[in-house]
Amino acid sequence: MSYLFVYFKKVTNFAARYSMNNNIKISIYNEKNIPTL
């Protein structure tokens, strides 16, 4: 049971990090494209 909980925590940490990286990429992309709009 505890092993499964640790695995779940790792997965959620990875998902949170991945979505944060995506948000940073999207914001950088938008900042680059604002002048061309």
pTM of the full structure: 0.48
For 34, phi then psi, to 5°, come to -60, -45
CA dihedral 26, 29, 35, 37 (to 10 degrees): -60
**Residue range 14-30, pLDDT digits in tens:** 888 888 888 888 888 87
pLDDT grade, residue 1 (50/70/90)?
low
